[in-house]
Amino acid sequence: MRVGVLGTGMVGQGQASRLVSLGHEVMMGSRAAGNEKAVAWASGASPRASEGTFADAAAFGEMVVNATNGEGSIEALAAAGAGNLAGKVLVDISNPLDHSGGFPPRLFVCNTDSLGEQIQRAFPEARVVKTMNTVNINVQVDPSVIPGRHTMFLCGNDDAAKADVRALLLSYGWPDEDVMDLGDITGSRAMEMNIAMWLRAASTLNNWGINIKIVP
Amino acid sequence: MRVGVLGTGMVGQGQASRLVSLGHEVMMGSRAAGNEKAVAWASGASPRASEGTFADAAAFGEMVVNATNGEGSIEALAAAGAGNLAGKVLVDISNPLDHSGGFPPRLFVCNTDSLGEQIQRAFPEARVVKTMNTVNINVQVDPSVIPGRHTMFLCGNDDAAKADVRALLLSYGWPDEDVMDLGDITGSRAMEMNIAMWLRAASTLNNWGINIKIVP
């Protein structure tokens, strides 16, 4: 599969490297082609790795991963181009974090709306699936780094898109029974607000590799 | 121990009954003495059960449990009387739920503040400990209704008060290793925002007896 990964930070690099390791062709997108981190990643990763602009990466991908900072996500996706996203699965990992007030960051949208919903509204032809934003990148792409069972969430309005993302998660090692579909894209509210507990518990334990398990 | 339980709903009744069953003397408080539900509870529960006004119950208790609806909590505690709460452990189980927009309820405070903090600010001499708001009443008072391990949170500014509440939780059956101290009262933000995931996951599973486990 060809995947466009938007974002050159830890999440973008981790996702892109994991995808390449699974045999996918991956283009990392950034604001401008030739981004230092993207070039370094692409040159070191694999012949299947490349880099370009947000638009290049979105056009390249059959699936597109939004791994940009939440505050810049709408702008990055606009640069990627609505036409390049239309009809494609858009895996949204972003969190609406505002770090301007120090730690802990506040959410710049929550409660009655979410960044996942904002993205779906801004790009109505993209098939947005919110997932993986509830854990750090190491856990996202390899759940076995945490012993025992724990839960990965996804939500979105398009069932076929969610099936594709579930398959991606399974290829990352998530057990099918631990992947929980929270319904339509409004599930993003719960998934993004969960960052408050994640941050508090992680800082309490001084362990940023935690997850939650839904225990019925 | 003498405990004042403020609130006559499911949470108040469940807490009060559990406390009585553990041998404590419990007064259930409501807006006006003679509240039908409070009288029915007190007459049926035990010789150790009684009822009265919010102020009666707060004055009676060595420990006070806020089991009122979140929207009415500050008013109920004002009726209970700051003087009757001063120096006492105030176990705050409330959630800041606004049901006016239908399901799911929204939070009337979140992100950069919380109801637990509002209560602590409004009653600075009360030793507020936020706890148990993350699960339903059946789970609150008997964690064994959910098989396996799962997490109970608490937070507050007063370490001795938190130790008292931890002891209460242990008497309810919570294993010490599953009771997680999230630090000062600002931990209420995470605990109250967690209701969004709880509501979403519970409605998805059609199981309102769920909890989360922090998995390190």
- B85 domain residue, yes or no: yes
Size of interface A-B (CB pairs under 8 A): 105
pLDDT (tens, 9 = 90+) of chain B, 216 residues, equals 999 999 999 999 999 999 999 999 999 999 999 999 999 999 987 899 999 999 999 999 999 999 999 999 999 999 999 999 999 999 999 999 999 999 999 999 999 999 999 999 999 999 999 999 999 999 999 999 999 999 999 999 999 999 999 999 999 999 999 999 999 999 999 999 999 999 999 999 999 999 999 999
- B213 domain residue, yes or no: no
Structure token pair of residue B142: 């008997």
Mutate to test the interface with B, among A108, A198, A200, A207 (most CBs of B within 10 A): A200
What whole-number distance in Å separates Cα of residue B102 and Cα of residue B113?
23
What's the longest Cα–Cα distance across chain A? 48
Asked whether the beta carbons of residue B197 and residue A190 sit closer than 8 angstroms, the reply is yes
- A212 domain residue, yes or no: no
Q: Which residues of A touch B194 (CB under 8 A)?
A: 193-194, 196-197
Domain interval for residue B113: 2-205
Check CB contact of A99 with chain B, cutoff 8 Å. no
CB A129 within 8 A of CB A155: yes
Check CB contact of A206 with chain B, cutoff 8 Å. no
DSSP state of B123: S
Residues, chain A, total?
216
pLDDT at A153: 99
Residue of B nearest to A112 (CA): B106
pLDDT at A44: 86
- A216 domain residue, yes or no: no
SS3 B94: coil
DSSP state of B105: P
What whole-number distance in Å separates Cα of residue A153 and Cα of residue A92?
12
pLDDT at A45: 74
- A210 domain residue, yes or no: no
pLDDT at B45: 74
- A214 domain residue, yes or no: no
Number of compact structural domains in chain A: 1
- A10 domain residue, yes or no: yes
The secondary structure element, H or E, covering residue B131 is: strand B127-131
Nearest to A183 among B110, B149, B204 (CB): B204
| End-to-end CA separation in angstroms for chain A | 36
Blockwise average pLDDT, block size 10, chain A, 216 residues: 98 98 98 96 92 98 98 98 98 98 96 98 98 98 97 98 98 98 98 98 98 98
CATH of the domain at A105: 3.40.50.720
> B148 CA to chain A: closest CA distance, Å?
8
Q: Which residues of A touch B204 (CB under 8 A)?
A: 180-183
Structure token pair of residue A202: 């992680």
CB B72 within 8 A of CB B169: no
Structure token pair of residue A85: 């996203």
ipTM > 0.90 (yes/no): yes
Nearest to B216 among A111, A181, A210 (CB): A210
- B192 domain residue, yes or no: yes
